[in-house]
Amino acid sequence: MLLLIEQSVHAALSGDLASYWGRGPFAPLVHPEVVWPAIYHHDDGWQPVDRLPPINPETKRPRSFLHTPVEEAHVIWTRSIDWAGRISPFAQYLIAEHFMLLRQHSHASDTEAAKIFLHKYEELCSTWRDNWESRHPCCSEQEEKLAVHQLQFFDWLSIWLCIAERTEPHTFEETPGQIPLKVQPQPGDVFRTNPWPWTVEQLHVSVSGYLIPDRDYRDSEDVKNEMTDLRRIDWQFLPG
């Protein structure tokens, strides 16, 4: 069986993980009234794709987001950035910076499509950032960079939970502020976490996904017809 977790659901999980963040050595979210919804909604552009999952022609299974063709990814990312305008131009800046960094560190970074995408959003990001700074002169460049890093980290923490069952200890080195975060899986989908980064005594998060047969699929409609068995996964983070 395969469990399909939609990209927009993964992004919502990243927002849940960002909630109550900021205890001990970990700084709280920068301007959470903007940064938190930006984290929560950073993959909204995937919603049309989530409804009709594409097929990998080689495996005949639903295609991983990691294998999305460059041009198609840019369309999806652009939709996410545009939709973030409902939140704030600064949210657009954060999400665009996030996707630009993903593209810059990808195998497709030297393609013509990547160069066009990066050039477009370098200019737009400058405009969005200047607009933000004019309205929030006390927000420093360091805080702006931290906000981007916060989005990146919670995106990765959510992906780490969603793409595999975790049984081995893991240390996240690239946290906001570069403070190593050690996570120790325990029975019952519990994670002992040190140092404890949330302002609550424990954190419970969950996602839902569609359980479908692990078989060859003809097309997206074939997958959609199997998306009837919605399952829930719960995780609990505790100090440890």
Buried b (16+ CB within 10 A) or exposed e, 96-115: bbbbbeebeeeeeeeeeebe
Cα–Cα distance between 4 and 70 in angstroms, integer? 22
pLDDT for res 132: 85
pLDDT tens-digit map of 55-114: 999 999 999 998 999 999 999 999 999 999 999 999 999 999 999 999 999 998 999 999
Cα–Cα distance, 46 to 97 (Å, whole number) = 17
- Taking 90 as the threshold, does the pLDDT of residue 131 lie above it? no
Q: How many whole angstroms separate alpha carbon 190 and alpha carbon 68?
A: 32
Amino acid (1-letter code) at residue 206 = S
When the pLDDT of each residue in the chain is averaged and rounded to a whole number, the result is: 95
Helix (H, G, I), strand (E, B) or coil at 228: coil
Segment 149-163 mean pLDDT: 96
Return d(Cα 15, Cα 163) in angstroms, integer: 17
19 — pLDDT class (breaks 50, 70, 90): very high
Give the count of alpha carbons within 13 A of 174, CB side only: 10
pLDDT (tens digit per residue) in 203-217: 999 999 999 999 999
Please tell me the distance from the alpha carbon of residue 4 to that of residue 227, in angstroms, as a whole number: 9
Q: Where are the beta strands (DSSP E) in 1-142?
A: 2-4, 55-56, 61-62
Give the per-residue pLDDT at 239.
97
DSSP 8-class letter at 28: P
Q: What is the Cα gyration radius of the chain? A: 19
Q: What torsion, rounded to 10 degrees, do the Cα atoms 129, 131, 134, 137 define?
A: -30
- 89 vs 38, 112, 117, 133, 224, CA distance in Å? 10, 27, 18, 11, 35
What pLDDT sits at residue 80?
A: 97
Residue linked to tokens 């977790």:
5
Locus of tokens 């890093």: 149
User: Quick one: tokens of 17?
Assistant: 């993980």
Examine the pLDDT at 140 and tell me if it is beyond 90.
Answer: no
